[in-house]
A = this chain, B = another copy of it.
Amino acid sequence: MTLLSMSYRTNYLHTYFKSTIVIPDSGKKQYKAVWLLHGYTGDDTAWIRHTNIEEMAQQHDWAIIMPEARNAFYSDSDFIPYYSFFVNELIPKIQKMFPLSPAPEDNYIAGSSMGGYGALKIGFTNPDKFSKTAALSPVTDIEKFRNNPQCPMDKKTFDSIFDTAEKIHNNQLATIFNKVQPRQKVLTLCGDKDYMHEDNIMFKNFLTIHLKSNYTWMPVNGNHSWVTWVGNIDKVFKWLEK
């Protein structure tokens, strides 16, 4: 198992961004890859520090790419045009740098919390890049998230990214879904004690109607924390493998 820390100055973001990357040692010319996104307050080392990601990479013989997202909500803002950076610069750069398959059937995207939102948004919008999307306790409704009393994000910070009602609307997962009509396989889960559980149930109902058999809901216990994500990431990877 090879562990890599990559840092480069992105043209989109005018600064250095890091990715933590795990690549198996089986010597393949092109590995399948899971793009695994961290949540609000995390960084590219979050998944490595909370659970044994290398073991999972080895079991599945997959590369795992964990990009730093800062708190940019996987969205374009004036301060950080993160979404454009991720799709237009980071993915092709990493696929050129390492022995990775660029085929959508070989690429999955997953994440937790804000990273679950990011995985769904980037997955829905890029069927030419990803064939499966998995979201653990995702933020499914950014407006309700903003106004939820348990939301850890400062309203000012949220508003610096989503600065108009129109921008909020355009960045709602339901809006994006309706616009791009994705046909990928999608999984979501959310602990029964999560403060966004109700939002997730509504989104589950939405995806059940629209994605039908391409959608999987994984019922789990727990609250909005790493305990839930560490406890279920194995099952999520097994679903990706299927």
The interface of chain A, by Cβ under 8 A from chain B, is: 1-9, 14-16, 23, 25, 27, 40-43, 45, 48-52, 54-55, 70-71, 77-80, 93, 96-99, 152-154, 156-157, 159-161, 226, 230
Contacts and interface: CB of A to CB of B under 8 A. Distances in A.
Q: Which 5 pairs across A and B sit closest by C-beta, in order of nearness? A: A78-B160, A2-B8, A78-B156, A79-B160, A5-B5
- Considering residues A5, A7, A49, which has the most beta carbons from chain B within 10 angstroms of its beta carbon? A49
A15 B2 contact: no
Contacts of A27: 96
- Please report whether the interface of chain A is mostly helix, strand, loop or mixed according to DSSP: mixed
Contact of A152 (B8, B14, B71, B97): B14
12 contacts: A4-B5, A4-B6, A4-B7, A7-B43, A9-B41, A14-B71, A16-B45, A49-B54, A78-B159, A79-B79, A79-B157, A79-B161
